[in-house]
Protein backbone atom coordinates (compact mmCIF):
# COMPACT_ATOMS: atom_id res chain seq x y z
CA UNK A 1 0.00 0.00 0.00
CA UNK A 2 1.38 3.41 -1.01
CA UNK A 3 0.11 6.43 0.92
CA UNK A 4 -0.26 9.62 -1.07
CA UNK A 5 -0.97 13.27 -0.32
CA UNK A 6 -2.29 14.96 -3.45
CA UNK A 7 -1.82 18.72 -3.79
CA UNK A 8 -3.83 20.73 -6.31
CA UNK A 9 -7.35 21.35 -7.56
CA UNK A 10 -7.01 21.70 -11.36
CA UNK A 11 -7.55 19.31 -14.30
CA UNK A 12 -4.53 17.13 -13.54
CA UNK A 13 -5.22 16.94 -9.80
CA UNK A 14 -8.88 16.03 -10.32
CA UNK A 15 -8.18 13.35 -12.92
CA UNK A 16 -5.30 11.92 -10.89
CA UNK A 17 -7.48 11.83 -7.79
CA UNK A 18 -10.21 9.88 -9.57
CA UNK A 19 -7.65 7.36 -10.81
CA UNK A 20 -5.82 7.03 -7.47
CA UNK A 21 -9.10 6.73 -5.58
CA UNK A 22 -9.98 3.61 -7.60
CA UNK A 23 -6.59 1.95 -7.04
CA UNK A 24 -6.41 -0.76 -4.40
CA UNK A 25 -2.67 -0.31 -3.79
CA UNK A 26 -2.92 3.40 -3.09
CA UNK A 27 -4.38 5.27 -0.15
CA UNK A 28 -5.03 8.98 -0.62
CA UNK A 29 -4.26 10.31 2.85
CA UNK A 30 -5.33 13.81 2.01
CA UNK A 31 -6.17 16.21 -0.80
CA UNK A 32 -4.62 19.60 -0.20
CA UNK A 33 -5.55 22.91 -1.81
CA UNK A 34 -5.75 26.55 -0.81
CA UNK A 35 -9.37 27.13 -1.74
CA UNK A 36 -11.93 24.87 0.00
CA UNK A 37 -14.46 25.49 -2.79
CA UNK A 38 -12.10 23.97 -5.32
CA UNK A 39 -11.69 20.81 -3.25
CA UNK A 40 -15.29 19.65 -3.64
CA UNK A 41 -14.28 17.05 -6.26
CA UNK A 42 -12.84 14.89 -3.45
CA UNK A 43 -15.52 15.53 -0.85
CA UNK A 44 -16.68 12.39 1.02
CA UNK A 45 -13.93 10.42 -0.72
CA UNK A 46 -10.77 11.61 1.00
CA UNK A 47 -9.78 13.92 3.86
CA UNK A 48 -9.51 17.51 2.63
CA UNK A 49 -7.13 20.16 3.90
CA UNK A 50 -6.49 23.82 3.16
CA UNK A 51 -3.72 24.30 5.74
CA UNK A 52 -0.27 23.85 4.18
CA UNK A 53 1.36 24.01 7.61
CA UNK A 54 -0.38 20.86 8.77
CA UNK A 55 0.34 18.09 6.29
CA UNK A 56 0.24 14.43 7.31
CA UNK A 57 3.07 12.03 6.58
CA UNK A 58 2.87 9.98 3.39
CA UNK A 59 5.04 7.88 1.10
CA UNK A 60 4.54 10.23 -1.83
CA UNK A 61 3.46 13.89 -2.10
CA UNK A 62 2.14 14.65 -5.58
CA UNK A 63 2.25 18.37 -6.40
CA UNK A 64 -0.29 18.61 -9.22
CA UNK A 65 -0.20 22.40 -9.25
CA UNK A 66 0.45 24.91 -12.03
CA UNK A 67 4.05 25.18 -13.23
CA UNK A 68 4.70 28.58 -11.70
CA UNK A 69 3.43 27.47 -8.28
CA UNK A 70 5.66 24.38 -7.99
CA UNK A 71 8.66 26.06 -6.34
CA UNK A 72 6.53 27.96 -3.79
CA UNK A 73 4.42 24.93 -2.89
CA UNK A 74 7.55 22.74 -2.63
CA UNK A 75 8.78 25.00 0.20
CA UNK A 76 6.11 23.48 2.41
CA UNK A 77 7.47 19.98 1.84
CA UNK A 78 11.18 20.47 2.39
CA UNK A 79 11.14 18.90 5.85
CA UNK A 80 9.03 15.93 4.83
CA UNK A 81 10.54 12.46 4.74
CA UNK A 82 8.39 11.17 1.85
CA UNK A 83 9.07 11.49 -1.88
CA UNK A 84 7.93 14.82 -3.37
CA UNK A 85 7.04 14.77 -7.10
CA UNK A 86 5.58 17.30 -9.49
CA UNK A 87 3.42 16.43 -12.52
CA UNK A 88 4.74 18.98 -15.01
CA UNK A 89 6.16 18.30 -18.47
CA UNK A 90 7.85 21.67 -18.73
CA UNK A 91 9.45 21.94 -15.29
CA UNK A 92 12.88 20.67 -14.28
CA UNK A 93 13.08 18.17 -11.45
CA UNK A 94 15.55 20.58 -9.81
CA UNK A 95 12.71 22.95 -8.85
CA UNK A 96 12.19 20.47 -5.99
CA UNK A 97 15.85 20.23 -4.99
CA UNK A 98 15.33 21.66 -1.49
CA UNK A 99 13.22 18.62 -0.63
CA UNK A 100 14.92 15.58 0.80
CA UNK A 101 13.72 13.12 -1.85
CA UNK A 102 12.20 14.38 -5.06
CA UNK A 103 11.16 13.44 -8.57
CA UNK A 104 8.66 13.80 -11.40
CA UNK A 105 5.41 11.98 -12.10
CA UNK A 106 4.24 13.35 -15.46
CA UNK A 107 1.12 11.82 -17.04
CA UNK A 108 1.43 12.65 -20.75
CA UNK A 109 -2.18 13.44 -21.55
CA UNK A 110 -4.61 16.34 -21.90
CA UNK A 111 -7.22 16.48 -19.15
CA UNK A 112 -10.62 18.09 -19.23
CA UNK A 113 -12.59 18.98 -16.11
CA UNK A 114 -15.69 16.80 -15.97
CA UNK A 115 -14.40 14.23 -18.47
CA UNK A 116 -12.95 11.15 -16.83
CA UNK A 117 -10.47 9.25 -18.97
CA UNK A 118 -8.87 5.92 -18.23
CA UNK A 119 -5.27 6.16 -17.02
CA UNK A 120 -4.50 2.65 -18.23
CA UNK A 121 -2.98 3.75 -21.55
CA UNK A 122 -1.61 7.11 -20.46
CA UNK A 123 2.20 7.13 -20.56
CA UNK A 124 3.53 8.18 -17.16
CA UNK A 125 7.01 9.70 -17.37
CA UNK A 126 9.05 9.26 -14.21
CA UNK A 127 12.24 10.77 -12.85
CA UNK A 128 13.78 10.57 -9.37
CA UNK A 129 16.72 12.29 -7.69
CA UNK A 130 17.73 9.19 -5.78
CA UNK A 131 18.03 5.81 -7.45
CA UNK A 132 16.54 4.20 -4.32
CA UNK A 133 13.19 5.83 -5.12
CA UNK A 134 12.87 4.26 -8.58
CA UNK A 135 10.92 1.31 -7.29
CA UNK A 136 8.48 3.39 -5.24
CA UNK A 137 7.61 5.80 -8.05
CA UNK A 138 7.46 2.98 -10.58
CA UNK A 139 5.05 0.96 -8.50
CA UNK A 140 2.86 4.06 -8.00
CA UNK A 141 2.93 4.59 -11.79
CA UNK A 142 2.13 0.96 -12.54
CA UNK A 143 -0.83 1.04 -10.18
CA UNK A 144 -2.41 3.51 -12.64
CA UNK A 145 -0.99 2.78 -16.09
CA UNK A 146 0.45 0.02 -18.26
CA UNK A 147 2.88 2.49 -19.82
CA UNK A 148 5.42 3.75 -17.28
CA UNK A 149 8.82 5.06 -18.36
CA UNK A 150 11.84 6.75 -16.82
CA UNK A 151 12.50 9.94 -18.77
CA UNK A 152 15.04 12.56 -17.72
CA UNK A 153 14.40 16.30 -17.55
CA UNK A 154 15.86 17.05 -21.02
CA UNK A 155 13.91 14.25 -22.68
CA UNK A 156 10.75 15.32 -20.87
CA UNK A 157 11.25 18.88 -22.11
CA UNK A 158 11.49 17.59 -25.69
CA UNK A 159 8.36 15.49 -25.18
CA UNK A 160 6.52 18.48 -23.77
CA UNK A 161 7.43 20.64 -26.78
CA UNK A 162 6.40 17.84 -29.13
CA UNK A 163 3.13 17.67 -27.15
CA UNK A 164 2.56 21.39 -27.79
CA UNK A 165 2.75 20.66 -31.53
CA UNK A 166 0.57 17.54 -31.57
CA UNK A 167 -1.96 18.73 -28.97
CA UNK A 168 -2.12 22.54 -28.59
CA UNK A 169 -1.29 23.41 -32.20
CA UNK A 170 -3.41 20.57 -33.57
CA UNK A 171 -6.35 21.82 -31.53
CA UNK A 172 -5.73 25.24 -33.05
CA UNK A 173 -5.93 23.67 -36.53
CA UNK A 174 -9.33 22.31 -35.47
CA UNK A 175 -10.28 25.82 -34.29
CA UNK A 176 -9.44 27.33 -37.66
CA UNK A 177 -11.30 24.52 -39.40
CA UNK A 178 -14.35 25.33 -37.32
CA UNK A 179 -14.01 29.08 -38.04
CA UNK A 180 -13.93 28.40 -41.79
CA UNK A 181 -16.99 26.14 -41.52
CA UNK A 182 -18.94 28.70 -39.49
CA UNK A 183 -18.03 31.57 -41.83
CA UNK A 184 -19.40 29.53 -44.74
CA UNK A 185 -22.46 28.01 -43.14
CA UNK A 186 -21.30 24.40 -43.12
CA UNK A 187 -21.43 22.02 -40.20
CA UNK A 188 -18.03 21.44 -38.53
CA UNK A 189 -19.16 18.02 -37.33
CA UNK A 190 -18.86 16.79 -40.94
CA UNK A 191 -15.10 16.92 -40.32
CA UNK A 192 -15.06 14.75 -37.19
CA UNK A 193 -14.61 11.37 -38.97
CA UNK A 194 -11.71 12.88 -40.93
CA UNK A 195 -10.14 14.23 -37.73
CA UNK A 196 -10.40 10.84 -36.00
CA UNK A 197 -8.96 8.98 -38.99
CA UNK A 198 -6.05 11.46 -39.29
CA UNK A 199 -5.09 10.49 -35.73
CA UNK A 200 -5.87 6.77 -36.18
CA UNK A 201 -3.58 6.52 -39.25
CA UNK A 202 -0.56 6.94 -36.98
CA UNK A 203 -1.09 3.42 -35.61
CA UNK A 204 0.12 2.08 -38.95
CA UNK A 205 2.03 4.89 -40.61
CA UNK A 206 4.56 7.51 -39.40
CA UNK A 207 3.19 11.01 -40.04
CA UNK A 208 5.93 11.77 -42.58
CA UNK A 209 4.51 9.00 -44.79
CA UNK A 210 0.87 9.80 -43.99
CA UNK A 211 1.09 13.35 -45.40
CA UNK A 212 -1.41 14.15 -48.14
CA UNK A 213 -2.94 17.34 -49.56
CA UNK A 214 -2.24 20.03 -52.16
CA UNK A 215 1.06 21.20 -50.60
CA UNK A 216 2.42 17.64 -50.47
CA UNK A 217 1.38 17.08 -54.12
CA UNK A 218 2.76 20.46 -55.17
CA UNK A 219 -0.69 21.26 -56.55
CA UNK A 220 -0.20 25.00 -57.16
CA UNK A 221 -3.63 25.38 -58.69
CA UNK A 222 -5.47 24.25 -55.53
CA UNK A 223 -3.09 26.20 -53.24
CA UNK A 224 -3.79 29.33 -55.32
CA UNK A 225 -7.57 28.77 -55.26
CA UNK A 226 -7.57 28.19 -51.50
CA UNK A 227 -5.63 31.41 -50.85
CA UNK A 228 -8.05 33.28 -53.10
CA UNK A 229 -10.94 31.90 -51.00
CA UNK A 230 -9.48 32.58 -47.51
CA UNK A 231 -10.11 36.20 -46.51
CA UNK A 232 -8.97 36.06 -42.86
CA UNK A 233 -5.40 37.42 -42.61
CA UNK A 234 -4.32 35.10 -39.80
CA UNK A 235 -5.67 32.03 -41.61
CA UNK A 236 -3.85 33.10 -44.81
CA UNK A 237 -0.56 33.54 -42.98
CA UNK A 238 -0.83 30.11 -41.36
CA UNK A 239 -2.00 28.46 -44.58
CA UNK A 240 0.99 29.91 -46.46
CA UNK A 241 3.64 29.11 -43.83
CA UNK A 242 2.46 25.53 -43.31
CA UNK A 243 2.01 24.82 -47.02
CA UNK A 244 5.55 26.07 -47.71
CA UNK A 245 6.89 23.99 -44.81
CA UNK A 246 5.17 20.86 -46.14
CA UNK A 247 6.57 21.53 -49.63
CA UNK A 248 10.06 21.95 -48.16
CA UNK A 249 9.78 18.83 -46.00
CA UNK A 250 8.54 16.80 -48.92
CA UNK A 251 11.23 18.03 -51.23
CA UNK A 252 9.44 20.18 -53.76
CA UNK A 253 11.48 23.16 -54.93
CA UNK A 254 9.83 26.48 -54.10
CA UNK B 1 -30.13 -1.87 -58.10
CA UNK B 2 -27.87 1.00 -59.22
CA UNK B 3 -25.29 0.21 -61.89
CA UNK B 4 -21.98 2.02 -61.59
CA UNK B 5 -18.86 2.46 -63.71
CA UNK B 6 -15.96 3.45 -61.49
CA UNK B 7 -13.10 5.38 -63.06
CA UNK B 8 -9.73 5.66 -61.33
CA UNK B 9 -7.04 3.64 -59.59
CA UNK B 10 -5.90 5.79 -56.63
CA UNK B 11 -6.74 5.83 -52.90
CA UNK B 12 -10.28 7.10 -53.35
CA UNK B 13 -11.10 4.75 -56.24
CA UNK B 14 -9.76 1.70 -54.39
CA UNK B 15 -11.58 2.48 -51.14
CA UNK B 16 -14.80 3.34 -52.99
CA UNK B 17 -14.57 0.12 -54.97
CA UNK B 18 -14.23 -1.99 -51.83
CA UNK B 19 -17.26 -0.31 -50.30
CA UNK B 20 -19.41 -0.47 -53.47
CA UNK B 21 -18.43 -4.10 -54.05
CA UNK B 22 -19.95 -5.04 -50.66
CA UNK B 23 -23.20 -3.20 -51.28
CA UNK B 24 -26.20 -5.27 -52.30
CA UNK B 25 -27.98 -2.36 -54.03
CA UNK B 26 -25.04 -1.51 -56.29
CA UNK B 27 -23.57 -3.34 -59.24
CA UNK B 28 -20.11 -2.26 -60.37
CA UNK B 29 -20.37 -2.75 -64.15
CA UNK B 30 -16.76 -1.93 -64.75
CA UNK B 31 -13.62 -0.41 -63.26
CA UNK B 32 -11.88 1.82 -65.74
CA UNK B 33 -8.28 3.03 -65.68
CA UNK B 34 -5.52 3.76 -68.15
CA UNK B 35 -2.88 1.49 -66.64
CA UNK B 36 -3.84 -2.21 -66.37
CA UNK B 37 -1.25 -2.76 -63.61
CA UNK B 38 -3.02 -0.25 -61.41
CA UNK B 39 -6.36 -2.04 -61.82
CA UNK B 40 -5.29 -5.19 -59.97
CA UNK B 41 -7.20 -4.13 -56.83
CA UNK B 42 -10.46 -5.06 -58.60
CA UNK B 43 -9.24 -8.18 -60.36
CA UNK B 44 -11.66 -11.15 -60.18
CA UNK B 45 -14.22 -8.86 -58.54
CA UNK B 46 -15.40 -6.66 -61.41
CA UNK B 47 -14.82 -6.34 -65.16
CA UNK B 48 -11.75 -4.21 -65.84
CA UNK B 49 -11.22 -1.88 -68.79
CA UNK B 50 -8.41 0.34 -70.02
CA UNK B 51 -10.18 1.55 -73.17
CA UNK B 52 -11.93 4.87 -72.58
CA UNK B 53 -13.61 4.67 -75.99
CA UNK B 54 -15.53 1.56 -75.04
CA UNK B 55 -17.47 2.25 -71.89
CA UNK B 56 -20.65 0.33 -71.03
CA UNK B 57 -23.87 2.07 -70.05
CA UNK B 58 -24.53 2.61 -66.35
CA UNK B 59 -26.77 4.63 -64.05
CA UNK B 60 -23.81 6.47 -62.51
CA UNK B 61 -20.23 7.08 -63.68
CA UNK B 62 -17.98 7.90 -60.75
CA UNK B 63 -14.81 9.75 -61.79
CA UNK B 64 -12.51 9.09 -58.84
CA UNK B 65 -9.49 10.57 -60.59
CA UNK B 66 -7.06 13.31 -59.59
CA UNK B 67 -8.41 16.88 -59.68
CA UNK B 68 -6.42 17.96 -62.72
CA UNK B 69 -7.59 14.93 -64.75
CA UNK B 70 -11.33 15.46 -64.15
CA UNK B 71 -12.00 17.74 -67.14
CA UNK B 72 -10.05 15.54 -69.58
CA UNK B 73 -11.62 12.31 -68.37
CA UNK B 74 -15.09 13.90 -68.43
CA UNK B 75 -14.70 14.42 -72.20
CA UNK B 76 -15.12 10.69 -72.64
CA UNK B 77 -18.51 10.74 -70.91
CA UNK B 78 -20.22 13.67 -72.59
CA UNK B 79 -22.40 11.47 -74.79
CA UNK B 80 -23.40 9.12 -71.97
CA UNK B 81 -26.97 9.09 -70.71
CA UNK B 82 -26.08 8.22 -67.11
CA UNK B 83 -25.17 10.61 -64.30
CA UNK B 84 -21.48 11.61 -64.27
CA UNK B 85 -20.05 12.59 -60.85
CA UNK B 86 -16.57 13.45 -59.60
CA UNK B 87 -15.32 12.78 -56.05
CA UNK B 88 -13.27 15.93 -55.48
CA UNK B 89 -13.63 18.42 -52.63
CA UNK B 90 -11.74 21.14 -54.45
CA UNK B 91 -13.31 20.97 -57.91
CA UNK B 92 -16.40 22.79 -59.09
CA UNK B 93 -19.29 20.71 -60.36
CA UNK B 94 -19.09 22.85 -63.53
CA UNK B 95 -15.95 20.99 -64.67
CA UNK B 96 -18.44 18.34 -65.80
CA UNK B 97 -20.85 20.73 -67.52
CA UNK B 98 -20.38 19.24 -71.00
CA UNK B 99 -21.96 16.03 -69.75
CA UNK B 100 -25.68 15.60 -70.03
CA UNK B 101 -26.31 14.95 -66.31
CA UNK B 102 -23.60 15.67 -63.77
CA UNK B 103 -22.87 16.10 -60.11
CA UNK B 104 -20.51 15.52 -57.20
CA UNK B 105 -20.07 12.54 -54.89
CA UNK B 106 -17.43 13.64 -52.37
CA UNK B 107 -16.59 11.31 -49.49
CA UNK B 108 -15.07 13.58 -46.82
CA UNK B 109 -12.31 11.32 -45.54
CA UNK B 110 -8.61 10.60 -45.90
CA UNK B 111 -7.87 7.28 -47.60
CA UNK B 112 -4.75 5.17 -47.37
CA UNK B 113 -3.86 2.47 -49.88
CA UNK B 114 -4.02 -0.90 -48.15
CA UNK B 115 -6.09 0.36 -45.21
CA UNK B 116 -9.78 -0.38 -45.55
CA UNK B 117 -12.04 1.89 -43.52
CA UNK B 118 -15.76 1.60 -43.04
CA UNK B 119 -17.79 4.03 -45.16
CA UNK B 120 -20.70 3.91 -42.73
CA UNK B 121 -19.72 7.08 -40.83
CA UNK B 122 -18.03 8.94 -43.67
CA UNK B 123 -19.99 12.06 -44.65
CA UNK B 124 -20.76 11.95 -48.35
CA UNK B 125 -21.31 15.41 -49.82
CA UNK B 126 -23.59 15.43 -52.85
CA UNK B 127 -24.42 17.94 -55.55
CA UNK B 128 -26.35 17.50 -58.81
CA UNK B 129 -26.97 19.74 -61.80
CA UNK B 130 -30.52 18.51 -62.27
CA UNK B 131 -32.95 18.26 -59.39
CA UNK B 132 -34.32 15.02 -60.88
CA UNK B 133 -31.02 13.32 -60.05
CA UNK B 134 -31.16 14.06 -56.32
CA UNK B 135 -32.87 10.80 -55.52
CA UNK B 136 -30.47 8.66 -57.55
CA UNK B 137 -27.31 10.15 -56.05
CA UNK B 138 -28.80 10.15 -52.57
CA UNK B 139 -29.73 6.50 -52.74
CA UNK B 140 -26.22 5.66 -54.01
CA UNK B 141 -24.78 7.66 -51.07
CA UNK B 142 -27.10 6.01 -48.54
CA UNK B 143 -26.12 2.56 -49.76
CA UNK B 144 -22.63 3.34 -48.40
CA UNK B 145 -23.03 5.80 -45.54
CA UNK B 146 -25.42 6.95 -42.81
CA UNK B 147 -24.29 10.54 -43.29
CA UNK B 148 -25.30 11.87 -46.71
CA UNK B 149 -25.73 15.61 -47.33
CA UNK B 150 -26.39 17.95 -50.23
CA UNK B 151 -23.62 20.57 -50.23
CA UNK B 152 -23.13 23.11 -53.01
CA UNK B 153 -19.81 23.91 -54.71
CA UNK B 154 -19.03 26.95 -52.54
CA UNK B 155 -19.81 25.10 -49.29
CA UNK B 156 -17.77 22.13 -50.48
CA UNK B 157 -14.85 24.41 -51.22
CA UNK B 158 -15.01 25.79 -47.65
CA UNK B 159 -15.21 22.25 -46.25
CA UNK B 160 -12.22 21.23 -48.34
CA UNK B 161 -10.14 24.15 -47.05
CA UNK B 162 -11.21 23.37 -43.48
CA UNK B 163 -10.17 19.76 -44.19
CA UNK B 164 -6.69 20.96 -45.22
CA UNK B 165 -6.36 22.58 -41.78
CA UNK B 166 -7.73 19.67 -39.70
CA UNK B 167 -6.15 16.88 -41.75
CA UNK B 168 -3.10 17.98 -43.80
CA UNK B 169 -1.85 20.63 -41.38
CA UNK B 170 -2.64 18.51 -38.33
CA UNK B 171 -0.64 15.67 -39.83
CA UNK B 172 2.19 18.13 -40.31
CA UNK B 173 1.98 19.00 -36.58
CA UNK B 174 2.38 15.27 -35.92
CA UNK B 175 5.39 15.23 -38.29
CA UNK B 176 7.09 18.04 -36.36
CA UNK B 177 6.27 16.31 -33.08
CA UNK B 178 7.97 13.18 -34.39
CA UNK B 179 11.00 15.18 -35.60
CA UNK B 180 11.44 16.72 -32.15
CA UNK B 181 11.14 13.31 -30.50
CA UNK B 182 13.68 11.73 -32.87
CA UNK B 183 16.15 14.61 -32.46
CA UNK B 184 16.03 14.10 -28.70
CA UNK B 185 15.97 10.33 -28.50
CA UNK B 186 12.44 9.93 -27.17
CA UNK B 187 9.80 7.59 -28.50
CA UNK B 188 7.09 9.34 -30.57
CA UNK B 189 4.59 6.60 -29.69
CA UNK B 190 4.43 8.07 -26.15
CA UNK B 191 2.39 10.87 -27.76
CA UNK B 192 -0.24 8.65 -29.41
CA UNK B 193 -2.71 8.58 -26.47
CA UNK B 194 -2.49 12.38 -26.30
CA UNK B 195 -3.10 12.68 -30.06
CA UNK B 196 -6.16 10.42 -29.89
CA UNK B 197 -7.60 12.27 -26.90
CA UNK B 198 -7.06 15.66 -28.58
CA UNK B 199 -9.31 14.43 -31.40
CA UNK B 200 -11.77 12.64 -29.08
CA UNK B 201 -12.35 15.80 -26.99
CA UNK B 202 -14.22 17.34 -29.93
CA UNK B 203 -17.14 14.99 -29.32
CA UNK B 204 -17.96 17.02 -26.21
CA UNK B 205 -16.25 20.36 -26.62
CA UNK B 206 -15.80 22.81 -29.54
CA UNK B 207 -12.07 23.29 -30.26
CA UNK B 208 -12.19 26.95 -29.21
CA UNK B 209 -13.09 25.81 -25.67
CA UNK B 210 -10.74 22.81 -25.72
CA UNK B 211 -7.62 24.95 -26.24
CA UNK B 212 -4.91 24.48 -23.60
CA UNK B 213 -1.16 25.10 -23.47
CA UNK B 214 1.36 27.84 -22.71
CA UNK B 215 0.15 30.22 -25.47
CA UNK B 216 -3.46 29.94 -24.29
CA UNK B 217 -2.39 30.58 -20.66
CA UNK B 218 -0.10 33.45 -21.73
CA UNK B 219 2.73 31.58 -19.99
CA UNK B 220 5.66 33.64 -21.34
CA UNK B 221 8.18 31.72 -19.30
CA UNK B 222 7.38 28.37 -20.93
CA UNK B 223 7.09 29.94 -24.41
CA UNK B 224 10.54 31.49 -23.92
CA UNK B 225 12.05 28.21 -22.69
CA UNK B 226 10.57 26.27 -25.58
CA UNK B 227 11.97 28.70 -28.14
CA UNK B 228 15.37 28.49 -26.46
CA UNK B 229 15.20 24.69 -26.81
CA UNK B 230 14.03 24.50 -30.46
CA UNK B 231 17.01 24.86 -32.81
CA UNK B 232 15.31 24.03 -36.13
CA UNK B 233 14.46 27.31 -37.94
CA UNK B 234 11.25 26.02 -39.53
CA UNK B 235 9.98 24.62 -36.22
CA UNK B 236 10.75 27.97 -34.52
CA UNK B 237 8.88 29.95 -37.17
CA UNK B 238 5.82 27.71 -36.87
CA UNK B 239 5.98 27.65 -33.06
CA UNK B 240 6.09 31.46 -32.97
CA UNK B 241 3.34 32.09 -35.55
CA UNK B 242 0.92 29.58 -34.01
CA UNK B 243 1.60 30.67 -30.42
CA UNK B 244 0.93 34.29 -31.39
CA UNK B 245 -2.23 33.27 -33.24
CA UNK B 246 -3.50 31.35 -30.19
CA UNK B 247 -2.74 34.33 -27.94
CA UNK B 248 -4.62 36.62 -30.33
CA UNK B 249 -7.60 34.25 -30.64
CA UNK B 250 -7.79 33.85 -26.89
CA UNK B 251 -7.57 37.56 -26.26
CA UNK B 252 -4.23 38.07 -24.62
CA UNK B 253 -2.56 41.35 -25.58
CA UNK B 254 0.74 40.85 -27.38
- Rounded average pLDDT over B186-206: 96
Chain A residues in contact with B149 by the CB 8 A cut-off are 190
**Residue A223, SS3 per DSSP:** helix
pLDDT tens string A10-42: 989 999 999 999 999 999 999 999 999 999 999
pLDDT tens string B104-123: 999 999 988 778 889 999 99
- The domain segmentation of chain B, as residue ranges, is 2-151, 156-249
- Closest by Cα among A6, A18, A2 to A119: A18
- Rounded average pLDDT over B125-131: 97
For residues B13 and B248, what is the distance between their CA atoms, to the nearest angstrom? 42
Q: Do B212 and A68 touch (CB under 8 A)?
A: no
Q: Do B108 and A161 touch (CB under 8 A)?
A: no
Residue B167, pLDDT above cutoff 60:
yes
**Right CATH for A2-151 from 3.40.220.10, 3.40.50.720, 3.30.420.40, 3.40.640.10:** 3.40.50.720
**Residue B241 pLDDT level (bands cut at 50, 70, 90):** very high
Confidence at residue A114, expressed as pLDDT on a 0 to 100 scale: 78
Q: Is A213 left (phi over 0), alpha (psi -120 to 50) or beta?
A: left
Chain B residues in contact with A239 by the CB 8 A cut-off are 164-165
Residue A66 CB contacts under 8 Å (≥ 6 apart), including other chains: A10
* CA distance, residue A251 to nearest chain B CA (Å): 14
Residue A252, pLDDT above cutoff 70:
no
- Rounded average pLDDT over B169-185: 98
For residues A46 and A54, what is the distance between their CA atoms, to the nearest angstrom? 16
> Does B182 reach chain A within 8 Å, measured CB to CB?
no
Chain B residues in contact with A184 by the CB 8 A cut-off are 154-155, 158-159
**Residue B254 pLDDT level (bands cut at 50, 70, 90):** very low
Q: Smallest Cβ distance to B171: which of A109, A203, A210?
A: A210
Q: Smallest Cβ distance to A204: which of B115, B215, B241?
A: B115
Q: Do A175 and B147 touch (CB under 8 A)?
A: no
Q: Do A170 and B170 touch (CB under 8 A)?
A: yes
pLDDT tens string A139-170: 999 999 999 999 999 999 999 999 999 999 99
Longest dimension (CA), chain B: 68
Q: Smallest Cβ distance to A226: which of B68, B164, B225?
A: B164
ipTM: 0.94
Same fold, B2-151 and B156-249: no
- Closest by Cα among B71, B76, B132, B131 to B97: B71
> Does B178 reach chain A within 8 Å, measured CB to CB?
yes
Please give the mean pLDDT across all residues of chain B: 95
Q: What are phi and psi of B75, to 5 degrees?
A: -45, -40
pLDDT tens string A195-244: 999 999 999 999 999 999 999 989 998 999 999 999 999 999 999 999 99
* CA distance, residue A57 to nearest chain B CA (Å): 32
- Rounded average pLDDT over B138-154: 96
pLDDT tens string B225-238: 999 999 999 999 99
Q: Between chain A and chain B, how many beta carbons pairs sit less than 8 Å apart? A: 294
For residues B69 and A161, what is the distance between their CA atoms, to the nearest angstrom? 41
Chain B stretch 1-60, residues whose beta carbon is closer than 8 A to a beta carbon of chain A: none
- Closest by Cα among A82, A60, A86 to A2: A60
Residue A254, pLDDT above cutoff 70:
no
CATH numeric code, A156-249? 1.10.1040.20
Longest dimension (CA), chain A: 68
**Residue A247 pLDDT level (bands cut at 50, 70, 90):** very high
Please give the mean pLDDT across all residues of chain A: 95
Chain A stretch 56-115, residues whose beta carbon is closer than 8 A to a beta carbon of chain B: 67-68, 90, 108-110, 112, 115
- Closest by Cα among A234, A197, A35, A170 to B212: A170
Amino acid sequence: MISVVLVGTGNVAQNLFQALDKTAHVKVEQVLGRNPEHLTFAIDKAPLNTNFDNIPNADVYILAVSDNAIATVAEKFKNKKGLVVHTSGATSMQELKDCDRYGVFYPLQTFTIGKTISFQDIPICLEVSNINDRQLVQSLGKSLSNNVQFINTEERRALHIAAVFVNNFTNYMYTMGEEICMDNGVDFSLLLPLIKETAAKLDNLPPLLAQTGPAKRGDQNTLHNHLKFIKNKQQREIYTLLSNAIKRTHGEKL
